[in-house]
Amino acid sequence: MAHFPPQQVGGDLVRDGACALEIGHKLGVSQPTCARHLKILTDAGLIIPTRRHQWTFYKRDEKQLRALKARIRSDV
């Protein structure tokens, strides 16, 4: 999470992940675009959302990402 500044809204980067607002800002996309892509990644099981009050924080699901990486390698 070194690519994100300290959270302004009370989440912990390591425990909770990055705030959706910070992710959208970092990517340079609108909030609706960011929300749609984060939903796709969440539905695929690649990221874990955590609600803190009115904000949602996202972090990588390392176990799922390792499994996906292994499946890709075995198919190549």
Inter-residue contact 76 to 36 (CB < 8 Å): no
Predicted confidence (pLDDT) per residue in 5-22, tens digit = 555 666 666 677 888 888
Considering the four listed CATH numbers 1.10.10.10, 1.10.8.420, 3.40.30.10, 1.10.390.10, the one that applies to the domain covering 18-75 is: 1.10.10.10
Predicted confidence (pLDDT) per residue in 26-38, tens digit = 999 999 999 999 9
Can you tell me whether residue 49 is helix, strand or coil? strand
pTM of the model as a whole: 0.77
Strands 18-19 and 47-52, bridge-based pairing: unpaired
Long-range (24+ apart) CB contacts under 8 A made by 41-48 are 47/17, 48/17
- pLDDT, mean over the chain: 86
